[in-house]
Structure 1
Amino acid sequence: MEAINPSHYPATRAATVAENYMNYKLGGPHRLFALNKVSQASRERIAGVGNKYSLTFSIEDVLNDKHIINCTAEVLYYLSDQHTAPNVTFTLQTELQGNVEDKNEEFYNKIRSLTQPLVAQDIPDKFGNVPAELEPVRHLALAACGFVKWQNSTENTFYRMAVIKSVKQQKREDRALEFHFDMLIHEMVSQEMVAWQMDILWDPSEGLKIVKQACLPKQCCIAQNN
Protein backbone atom coordinates (compact mmCIF):
# COMPACT_ATOMS: atom_id res chain seq x y z
CA MET A 1 0.00 0.00 0.00
CA GLU A 2 1.43 3.37 -1.02
CA ALA A 3 0.13 6.80 -0.05
CA ILE A 4 -0.61 9.06 -3.02
CA ASN A 5 -1.18 12.78 -3.19
CA PRO A 6 -4.94 13.31 -2.72
CA SER A 7 -4.95 16.31 -5.06
CA HIS A 8 -3.30 14.50 -7.98
CA TYR A 9 -5.19 12.91 -10.86
CA PRO A 10 -4.96 9.24 -9.78
CA ALA A 11 -6.75 10.06 -6.52
CA THR A 12 -9.31 12.47 -7.96
CA ARG A 13 -10.13 10.13 -10.85
CA ALA A 14 -10.76 7.25 -8.47
CA ALA A 15 -12.86 9.47 -6.20
CA THR A 16 -14.85 10.61 -9.24
CA VAL A 17 -15.58 6.98 -10.10
CA ALA A 18 -16.94 6.59 -6.55
CA GLU A 19 -18.99 9.79 -7.02
CA ASN A 20 -20.45 8.43 -10.27
CA TYR A 21 -21.34 5.13 -8.62
CA MET A 22 -22.99 6.97 -5.71
CA ASN A 23 -25.05 9.09 -8.11
CA TYR A 24 -26.28 5.92 -9.80
CA LYS A 25 -27.15 4.27 -6.50
CA LEU A 26 -28.49 7.26 -4.54
CA GLY A 27 -29.14 10.04 -7.05
CA GLY A 28 -32.30 10.97 -8.89
CA PRO A 29 -34.55 13.87 -9.88
CA HIS A 30 -33.89 15.72 -6.62
CA ARG A 31 -30.50 14.45 -5.42
CA LEU A 32 -27.11 14.65 -7.11
CA PHE A 33 -23.57 14.51 -5.75
CA ALA A 34 -20.43 16.33 -6.84
CA LEU A 35 -16.94 15.59 -5.60
CA ASN A 36 -15.81 18.25 -3.13
CA LYS A 37 -12.33 17.30 -1.88
CA VAL A 38 -10.15 14.22 -1.52
CA SER A 39 -8.36 14.38 1.83
CA GLN A 40 -6.54 11.03 1.88
CA ALA A 41 -5.67 8.41 -0.72
CA SER A 42 -3.61 5.28 -1.06
CA ARG A 43 -3.09 2.66 -3.76
CA GLU A 44 -2.46 -1.06 -3.50
CA ARG A 45 -1.19 -3.03 -6.47
CA ILE A 46 -2.78 -6.49 -6.35
CA ALA A 47 -0.85 -8.91 -8.53
CA GLY A 48 -2.98 -10.50 -11.24
CA VAL A 49 -6.03 -8.43 -10.29
CA GLY A 50 -5.45 -4.68 -10.59
CA ASN A 51 -5.02 -1.52 -8.52
CA LYS A 52 -7.17 -0.75 -5.49
CA TYR A 53 -7.56 2.84 -4.25
CA SER A 54 -8.61 3.58 -0.68
CA LEU A 55 -10.07 7.07 -0.36
CA THR A 56 -11.31 9.53 2.21
CA PHE A 57 -13.19 12.40 0.61
CA SER A 58 -16.23 14.65 0.76
CA ILE A 59 -19.06 15.17 -1.70
CA GLU A 60 -21.58 17.95 -2.09
CA ASP A 61 -25.31 17.28 -2.31
CA VAL A 62 -25.79 19.94 -4.97
CA LEU A 63 -29.61 19.92 -4.94
CA ASN A 64 -30.05 20.04 -1.16
CA ASP A 65 -28.43 23.20 0.17
CA LYS A 66 -25.02 21.97 -1.07
CA HIS A 67 -24.79 19.81 2.04
CA ILE A 68 -21.27 18.38 2.52
CA ILE A 69 -21.08 14.64 3.14
CA ASN A 70 -17.95 12.87 4.35
CA CYS A 71 -17.26 9.50 2.75
CA THR A 72 -14.81 6.66 2.48
CA ALA A 73 -14.56 4.39 -0.54
CA GLU A 74 -12.53 1.68 -2.19
CA VAL A 75 -12.22 1.59 -5.96
CA LEU A 76 -10.66 -1.47 -7.56
CA TYR A 77 -9.62 -1.08 -11.19
CA TYR A 78 -9.20 -4.50 -12.77
CA LEU A 79 -6.45 -5.29 -15.24
CA SER A 80 -7.23 -3.80 -18.65
CA ASP A 81 -7.52 -7.17 -20.38
CA GLN A 82 -10.47 -8.11 -18.14
CA HIS A 83 -12.78 -5.36 -19.52
CA THR A 84 -14.59 -5.20 -16.20
CA ALA A 85 -16.08 -2.12 -14.53
CA PRO A 86 -14.26 -0.97 -11.39
CA ASN A 87 -15.53 -2.50 -8.17
CA VAL A 88 -16.72 0.29 -5.86
CA THR A 89 -17.71 0.18 -2.21
CA PHE A 90 -18.50 3.30 -0.20
CA THR A 91 -19.62 4.43 3.24
CA LEU A 92 -21.38 7.70 4.04
CA GLN A 93 -20.11 9.12 7.31
CA THR A 94 -22.65 11.96 7.27
CA GLU A 95 -26.41 11.48 6.99
CA LEU A 96 -28.16 12.71 3.86
CA GLN A 97 -30.35 15.76 4.33
CA GLY A 98 -33.37 17.09 2.50
CA ASN A 99 -36.76 15.43 2.14
CA VAL A 100 -36.66 14.37 -1.49
CA GLU A 101 -39.40 11.73 -1.27
CA ASP A 102 -42.30 14.17 -1.62
CA LYS A 103 -40.57 15.98 -4.49
CA ASN A 104 -39.90 12.68 -6.25
CA GLU A 105 -43.54 11.64 -5.89
CA GLU A 106 -44.72 15.00 -7.24
CA PHE A 107 -42.42 14.71 -10.26
CA TYR A 108 -43.48 11.12 -10.85
CA ASN A 109 -47.19 11.96 -10.78
CA LYS A 110 -46.67 14.93 -13.08
CA ILE A 111 -44.94 12.81 -15.73
CA ARG A 112 -47.51 10.02 -15.39
CA SER A 113 -50.34 12.51 -15.95
CA LEU A 114 -48.99 13.88 -19.24
CA THR A 115 -51.41 13.32 -22.10
CA GLN A 116 -48.51 13.09 -24.55
CA PRO A 117 -45.13 11.45 -23.79
CA LEU A 118 -42.39 13.89 -22.83
CA VAL A 119 -40.06 14.86 -25.69
CA ALA A 120 -37.29 17.46 -25.41
CA GLN A 121 -33.94 18.37 -26.93
CA ASP A 122 -30.73 20.17 -25.96
CA ILE A 123 -30.80 20.30 -22.16
CA PRO A 124 -29.24 22.73 -21.41
CA ASP A 125 -29.60 24.83 -24.56
CA LYS A 126 -26.68 26.64 -26.21
CA PHE A 127 -27.05 29.49 -23.72
CA GLY A 128 -26.89 27.14 -20.71
CA ASN A 129 -30.58 27.45 -19.87
CA VAL A 130 -32.78 24.63 -18.58
CA PRO A 131 -36.56 25.10 -18.30
CA ALA A 132 -37.66 24.63 -14.69
CA GLU A 133 -40.00 21.77 -15.59
CA LEU A 134 -37.11 19.85 -17.17
CA GLU A 135 -34.68 20.22 -14.26
CA PRO A 136 -35.74 16.92 -12.62
CA VAL A 137 -35.44 15.15 -15.99
CA ARG A 138 -31.92 16.51 -16.38
CA HIS A 139 -31.00 15.42 -12.84
CA LEU A 140 -32.34 11.93 -13.50
CA ALA A 141 -30.27 11.72 -16.69
CA LEU A 142 -27.13 12.82 -14.83
CA ALA A 143 -27.73 10.17 -12.16
CA ALA A 144 -28.11 7.58 -14.91
CA CYS A 145 -24.89 8.85 -16.50
CA GLY A 146 -23.25 7.94 -13.21
CA PHE A 147 -23.83 4.31 -14.21
CA VAL A 148 -22.35 4.83 -17.69
CA LYS A 149 -19.29 6.66 -16.36
CA TRP A 150 -18.67 4.05 -13.65
CA GLN A 151 -19.12 1.09 -15.99
CA ASN A 152 -16.72 2.49 -18.58
CA SER A 153 -14.05 3.99 -16.32
CA THR A 154 -10.44 2.90 -16.26
CA GLU A 155 -7.34 4.40 -14.67
CA ASN A 156 -6.80 6.22 -17.96
CA THR A 157 -10.24 7.86 -18.31
CA PHE A 158 -11.86 10.80 -16.56
CA TYR A 159 -15.53 11.29 -17.43
CA ARG A 160 -17.13 14.54 -16.30
CA MET A 161 -19.77 16.81 -17.85
CA ALA A 162 -22.82 15.43 -19.62
CA VAL A 163 -25.51 17.10 -21.70
CA ILE A 164 -28.81 15.78 -23.02
CA LYS A 165 -29.18 15.99 -26.79
CA SER A 166 -32.66 14.46 -26.70
CA VAL A 167 -35.03 12.67 -24.34
CA LYS A 168 -38.13 10.68 -25.26
CA GLN A 169 -40.50 9.16 -22.76
CA GLN A 170 -41.77 5.67 -23.52
CA LYS A 171 -45.28 4.95 -22.23
CA ARG A 172 -45.61 1.82 -20.12
CA GLU A 173 -48.48 -0.11 -18.55
CA ASP A 174 -46.65 -0.81 -15.29
CA ARG A 175 -45.61 1.69 -12.61
CA ALA A 176 -42.19 2.65 -13.95
CA LEU A 177 -41.33 5.72 -15.98
CA GLU A 178 -39.17 4.92 -19.01
CA PHE A 179 -36.95 7.38 -20.86
CA HIS A 180 -34.63 7.13 -23.84
CA PHE A 181 -31.72 9.57 -23.65
CA ASP A 182 -29.17 10.60 -26.25
CA MET A 183 -26.27 12.06 -24.27
CA LEU A 184 -22.87 13.64 -24.79
CA ILE A 185 -20.34 12.85 -22.06
CA HIS A 186 -17.02 14.68 -21.82
CA GLU A 187 -13.94 12.48 -21.46
CA MET A 188 -11.35 14.83 -19.97
CA VAL A 189 -8.19 12.90 -20.92
CA SER A 190 -8.93 12.69 -24.65
CA GLN A 191 -10.99 15.93 -24.61
CA GLU A 192 -13.65 14.10 -26.63
CA MET A 193 -17.41 14.48 -26.28
CA VAL A 194 -18.56 10.87 -26.42
CA ALA A 195 -22.09 10.09 -27.64
CA TRP A 196 -24.08 7.60 -25.58
CA GLN A 197 -27.61 6.26 -25.66
CA MET A 198 -29.38 5.15 -22.49
CA ASP A 199 -32.73 3.53 -21.81
CA ILE A 200 -33.69 3.88 -18.15
CA LEU A 201 -36.52 3.01 -15.79
CA TRP A 202 -37.35 5.00 -12.66
CA ASP A 203 -40.02 5.21 -10.02
CA PRO A 204 -39.86 6.68 -6.50
CA SER A 205 -40.02 3.35 -4.67
CA GLU A 206 -37.72 1.24 -6.87
CA GLY A 207 -35.24 3.93 -7.85
CA LEU A 208 -33.16 3.96 -11.02
CA LYS A 209 -32.48 1.06 -13.37
CA ILE A 210 -30.42 1.20 -16.56
CA VAL A 211 -32.05 -1.05 -19.15
CA LYS A 212 -29.59 -0.35 -21.96
CA GLN A 213 -26.50 1.77 -22.61
CA ALA A 214 -24.48 2.03 -25.79
CA CYS A 215 -21.54 4.13 -26.94
CA LEU A 216 -22.15 5.51 -30.42
CA PRO A 217 -19.52 5.80 -33.17
CA LYS A 218 -17.53 9.02 -33.23
CA GLN A 219 -19.24 10.25 -36.38
CA CYS A 220 -22.55 10.18 -34.51
CA CYS A 221 -21.05 12.44 -31.88
CA ILE A 222 -19.87 14.87 -34.56
CA ALA A 223 -23.32 14.90 -36.15
CA GLN A 224 -24.99 15.64 -32.81
CA ASN A 225 -22.66 18.59 -32.23
CA ASN A 226 -23.51 20.15 -35.59
Structure 2
Amino acid sequence: MELPPACSAARRAAALAAAYTCYRRGGPGRGLGLRDVRRARGQDIEGVGRKYHLELVLEDVLDRERTVNCTAEVLYHLGNSRIAPDVQFTLEGELKNTDEADNVFYSRIKSLKKELVAEYIPDSHGNVPPEMEPIHLLAWVASGYVIWQNSTENTKFQLAQIKHVKQVKRSDEYLEFDYLVLLHEMVSQEIIPWQMTVLWHPQHGVQVTRDSRQPQHPLE
Protein backbone atom coordinates (compact mmCIF):
# COMPACT_ATOMS: atom_id res chain seq x y z
CA MET A 1 0.00 0.00 0.00
CA GLU A 2 1.40 3.38 -1.06
CA LEU A 3 1.85 5.81 1.87
CA PRO A 4 2.20 9.60 1.81
CA PRO A 5 5.96 10.22 2.37
CA ALA A 6 5.10 12.76 5.09
CA CYS A 7 2.98 10.33 7.14
CA SER A 8 4.39 9.66 10.60
CA ALA A 9 4.64 5.85 10.20
CA ALA A 10 6.78 6.32 7.06
CA ARG A 11 8.92 8.98 8.76
CA ARG A 12 9.55 6.73 11.77
CA ALA A 13 10.62 3.81 9.56
CA ALA A 14 12.77 6.18 7.49
CA ALA A 15 14.49 7.58 10.59
CA LEU A 16 15.33 4.02 11.69
CA ALA A 17 16.66 3.14 8.21
CA ALA A 18 18.84 6.29 8.27
CA ALA A 19 20.18 5.47 11.76
CA TYR A 20 21.01 1.89 10.74
CA THR A 21 22.70 3.01 7.50
CA CYS A 22 24.74 5.54 9.48
CA TYR A 23 25.84 2.80 11.90
CA ARG A 24 26.97 0.60 9.01
CA ARG A 25 28.63 3.27 6.89
CA GLY A 26 29.58 6.10 9.25
CA GLY A 27 32.58 6.92 11.45
CA PRO A 28 34.38 9.85 13.09
CA GLY A 29 34.67 11.53 9.67
CA ARG A 30 31.13 10.91 8.44
CA GLY A 31 27.65 10.84 9.93
CA LEU A 32 24.46 10.35 7.92
CA GLY A 33 21.05 11.83 8.68
CA LEU A 34 17.62 11.72 7.03
CA ARG A 35 17.04 14.60 4.59
CA ASP A 36 13.84 13.49 2.88
CA VAL A 37 11.43 10.61 2.26
CA ARG A 38 10.69 10.39 -1.47
CA ARG A 39 8.45 7.36 -1.52
CA ALA A 40 7.01 4.91 1.02
CA ARG A 41 4.98 1.73 0.83
CA GLY A 42 3.63 -0.38 3.71
CA GLN A 43 3.05 -4.12 3.54
CA ASP A 44 1.49 -6.40 6.15
CA ILE A 45 3.11 -9.86 6.08
CA GLU A 46 0.80 -12.33 7.77
CA GLY A 47 2.30 -13.95 10.85
CA VAL A 48 5.57 -12.01 10.46
CA GLY A 49 5.04 -8.28 10.84
CA ARG A 50 4.86 -5.04 8.90
CA LYS A 51 7.37 -4.09 6.23
CA TYR A 52 8.11 -0.62 4.87
CA HIS A 53 9.67 -0.08 1.43
CA LEU A 54 11.34 3.33 1.35
CA GLU A 55 13.12 5.68 -1.03
CA LEU A 56 15.15 8.19 0.98
CA VAL A 57 17.61 11.01 0.63
CA LEU A 58 20.37 10.95 3.26
CA GLU A 59 22.65 13.88 4.02
CA ASP A 60 26.11 14.17 5.48
CA VAL A 61 25.54 15.74 8.92
CA LEU A 62 28.74 17.82 8.59
CA ASP A 63 28.14 18.91 5.00
CA ARG A 64 24.40 19.06 4.42
CA GLU A 65 24.84 19.92 0.73
CA ARG A 66 26.27 16.42 0.22
CA THR A 67 23.43 13.94 -0.20
CA VAL A 68 23.02 10.35 -1.35
CA ASN A 69 19.90 8.44 -2.45
CA CYS A 70 19.02 5.31 -0.51
CA THR A 71 16.45 2.55 -0.95
CA ALA A 72 15.63 0.65 2.23
CA GLU A 73 13.33 -1.99 3.66
CA VAL A 74 12.37 -2.07 7.33
CA LEU A 75 10.54 -5.06 8.82
CA TYR A 76 9.02 -4.69 12.29
CA HIS A 77 8.35 -8.10 13.82
CA LEU A 78 4.79 -8.85 14.88
CA GLY A 79 4.07 -8.08 18.53
CA ASN A 80 7.64 -8.64 19.69
CA SER A 81 9.55 -5.49 20.54
CA ARG A 82 12.46 -7.58 21.87
CA ILE A 83 13.55 -8.49 18.35
CA ALA A 84 15.35 -5.70 16.51
CA PRO A 85 13.68 -4.76 13.22
CA ASP A 86 15.27 -6.18 10.05
CA VAL A 87 16.77 -3.35 7.98
CA GLN A 88 18.30 -3.59 4.52
CA PHE A 89 19.58 -0.68 2.47
CA THR A 90 21.26 0.16 -0.81
CA LEU A 91 23.04 3.45 -1.43
CA GLU A 92 23.07 4.97 -4.90
CA GLY A 93 26.22 6.98 -5.51
CA GLU A 94 29.40 7.47 -3.54
CA LEU A 95 29.86 8.65 0.02
CA LYS A 96 32.73 11.04 0.57
CA ASN A 97 36.08 9.44 1.30
CA THR A 98 37.11 10.00 4.92
CA ASP A 99 40.35 7.97 5.02
CA GLU A 100 42.58 10.99 5.54
CA ALA A 101 40.40 12.56 8.27
CA ASP A 102 40.02 9.16 9.96
CA ASN A 103 43.76 8.59 10.06
CA VAL A 104 44.45 12.10 11.40
CA PHE A 105 41.91 11.56 14.19
CA TYR A 106 43.25 8.08 14.96
CA SER A 107 46.84 9.36 15.23
CA ARG A 108 45.78 12.31 17.38
CA ILE A 109 43.96 10.13 19.91
CA LYS A 110 46.69 7.48 19.93
CA SER A 111 49.32 10.14 20.69
CA LEU A 112 47.48 11.67 23.69
CA LYS A 113 49.46 11.45 26.92
CA LYS A 114 46.25 11.22 28.97
CA GLU A 115 42.96 9.60 27.98
CA LEU A 116 40.45 12.00 26.47
CA VAL A 117 37.55 13.09 28.71
CA ALA A 118 34.79 15.51 27.68
CA GLU A 119 31.18 16.36 28.47
CA TYR A 120 28.14 18.20 27.13
CA ILE A 121 28.63 17.88 23.37
CA PRO A 122 26.97 19.84 21.85
CA ASP A 123 26.76 22.54 24.54
CA SER A 124 23.51 24.25 25.52
CA HIS A 125 23.81 26.56 22.48
CA GLY A 126 24.18 23.62 20.09
CA ASN A 127 27.90 24.20 19.48
CA VAL A 128 30.43 21.39 18.99
CA PRO A 129 34.10 22.43 19.30
CA PRO A 130 35.89 21.49 16.02
CA GLU A 131 38.32 19.13 17.81
CA MET A 132 35.33 17.30 19.32
CA GLU A 133 33.49 16.82 16.01
CA PRO A 134 34.93 13.30 15.40
CA ILE A 135 33.96 12.30 18.98
CA HIS A 136 30.46 13.64 18.35
CA LEU A 137 30.17 11.85 14.97
CA LEU A 138 31.36 8.60 16.56
CA ALA A 139 28.52 8.89 19.10
CA TRP A 140 26.06 9.71 16.29
CA VAL A 141 27.12 6.58 14.39
CA ALA A 142 27.17 4.31 17.48
CA SER A 143 23.75 5.56 18.60
CA GLY A 144 22.50 4.25 15.23
CA TYR A 145 23.15 0.76 16.60
CA VAL A 146 21.23 1.49 19.83
CA ILE A 147 18.35 3.04 17.85
CA TRP A 148 18.19 -0.01 15.56
CA GLN A 149 18.21 -2.48 18.46
CA ASN A 150 15.52 -0.64 20.45
CA SER A 151 13.12 0.72 17.84
CA THR A 152 9.53 -0.36 17.40
CA GLU A 153 6.97 0.83 14.86
CA ASN A 154 5.91 3.50 17.36
CA THR A 155 9.28 5.04 18.25
CA LYS A 156 11.56 7.62 16.65
CA PHE A 157 14.92 8.15 18.34
CA GLN A 158 17.67 10.69 17.76
CA LEU A 159 20.90 11.49 19.57
CA ALA A 160 20.40 14.71 21.55
CA GLN A 161 23.71 15.11 23.40
CA ILE A 162 26.82 13.41 24.69
CA LYS A 163 26.59 13.92 28.44
CA HIS A 164 29.98 12.42 29.13
CA VAL A 165 32.67 10.57 27.20
CA LYS A 166 35.88 8.97 28.45
CA GLN A 167 38.53 7.21 26.43
CA VAL A 168 39.46 3.77 27.76
CA LYS A 169 43.11 2.72 27.51
CA ARG A 170 43.70 -0.43 25.45
CA SER A 171 46.76 -2.51 24.63
CA ASP A 172 45.62 -3.33 21.07
CA GLU A 173 45.18 -1.08 18.03
CA TYR A 174 41.53 -0.14 18.68
CA LEU A 175 40.28 3.11 20.18
CA GLU A 176 37.67 2.63 22.92
CA PHE A 177 35.30 5.24 24.31
CA ASP A 178 32.75 4.99 27.11
CA TYR A 179 29.81 7.29 26.34
CA LEU A 180 26.83 8.43 28.34
CA VAL A 181 24.44 9.94 25.79
CA LEU A 182 20.95 11.39 25.87
CA LEU A 183 18.56 9.99 23.26
CA HIS A 184 15.45 11.96 22.34
CA GLU A 185 12.42 9.72 21.71
CA MET A 186 10.33 12.06 19.59
CA VAL A 187 6.98 10.30 19.89
CA SER A 188 6.83 10.33 23.71
CA GLN A 189 9.18 13.37 23.97
CA GLU A 190 11.19 11.38 26.50
CA ILE A 191 14.92 12.09 26.97
CA ILE A 192 16.63 8.79 27.77
CA PRO A 193 20.17 8.42 29.19
CA TRP A 194 22.04 5.56 27.52
CA GLN A 195 25.48 4.11 28.15
CA MET A 196 27.49 2.87 25.13
CA THR A 197 30.96 1.33 24.94
CA VAL A 198 32.29 2.02 21.45
CA LEU A 199 35.30 0.55 19.64
CA TRP A 200 36.70 2.07 16.47
CA HIS A 201 39.58 1.45 14.11
CA PRO A 202 40.04 3.10 10.67
CA GLN A 203 40.15 -0.30 8.94
CA HIS A 204 37.40 -2.04 10.92
CA GLY A 205 34.73 0.60 11.53
CA VAL A 206 32.51 1.14 14.56
CA GLN A 207 31.44 -1.55 17.02
CA VAL A 208 29.17 -1.09 20.04
CA THR A 209 30.34 -3.74 22.51
CA ARG A 210 28.03 -2.81 25.41
CA ASP A 211 24.99 -0.60 25.77
CA SER A 212 22.35 -0.13 28.44
CA ARG A 213 19.50 2.21 29.19
CA GLN A 214 20.24 4.21 32.33
CA PRO A 215 17.83 5.36 35.03
CA GLN A 216 16.12 8.67 34.44
CA HIS A 217 17.08 11.69 36.53
CA PRO A 218 14.43 14.23 37.54
CA LEU A 219 16.28 17.11 35.80
CA GLU A 220 16.13 15.31 32.47
Measured against the shorter chain, the TM-score band is: over 0.9
Residue of structure 2 in register with 1:93 after alignment: 92
Q: Is 1:13–2:12 an aligned residue pair?
A: yes
Gaps of 5+ in 1: none
Distance 2:52 2:134 in 1: 33
Does 1:35 pair with 2:26? no
Q: Distance in 2 between matches of 1:133 and 1:108?
A: 12
RMSD value, Cα: 1.3
What is the match of residue 111 of structure 1?
A: 109
1:162 shift after superposition: 2.2
- What CA deviation, in whole Å up to 9, does each residue of 1:180-217 have, x standing for no partner? 00000000011010010000100100000000010112
User: Given that residues 60 and 67 in structure 2 are in contact (C-alpha distance below 8 angstroms), is that contact kept between their aligned partners in structure 1?
Assistant: yes
Query: What is the distance in 2 between the residues matched to 1:125 and 1:204?
Result: 27
2:80 is paired with a residue of what secondary structure?
Answer: helix
**C-alpha offsets along residues 53-91 of structure 1, whole Å, 9 cap, x if unaligned?**
001111112334631111101000012335111100000
Distance 2:32 2:171 in 1: 32
Distance in 2 (alpha carbons) for counterparts of 1:135 and 1:62: 11
The partner residue of 1:102 within 97, 100, 103 is 100
Aligned counterpart, 1:205: 203
50-59 or 128-137: which moved more? Answer: 128-137
The separation in 2 between residues aligned to 1:5 and 1:96, in whole angstroms, is 28
Does the CA contact (< 8 Å) of 1:59 and 1:69 recur in 2? yes
Q: Does 1:163 align with 2:157?
A: no
Aligned residue pair count:
220
Answering whether residue 67 of structure 2 is matched by residue 68 of structure 1, we say yes
The CA distance in 2 between the partners of 1:212 and 1:61, in whole Å, is 26
- Aligned-pair identity in percent equals 47
Structure 1 segments, 4+ long, off by >2 Å, are 62-66
2:175 corresponding residue in structure 1? 177
What is the rounded CA distance, in whole Å, between the counterparts of 2:60 and 2:120 in structure 1? 24
Partners of 1:74 and 1:80 lie apart in 2 by 19
Structure 2 CA distance, aligned partners of 1:83 and 1:40?
28
Alignment partners' CA distance in 1, 2:144 and 2:168: 21
How does the TM-score come out when normalised to structure 1? 0.94
- Structure 2, unaligned stretches of length 5 or more? none
CA distance in 1, matches of 2:47, 2:201: 40
**Higher normalized helix content (fraction of residues):** 1
Aligned equivalent of 2:152, options 151, 154, 174:
154
Provide the secondary structure at the position in 2 that maps to 1:90.
Answer: strand
**Separation in 2, partners of 1:174, 1:153:** 33
Q: Could you tell me whether the CA contact under 8 Å between 1:120 and 1:166 is conserved in 2?
A: yes
Distance 1:168 1:85 in 2: 28
The AA in structure 2 aligned to 1:186 is H
Q: Which amino acid aligns with 1:157?
A: T
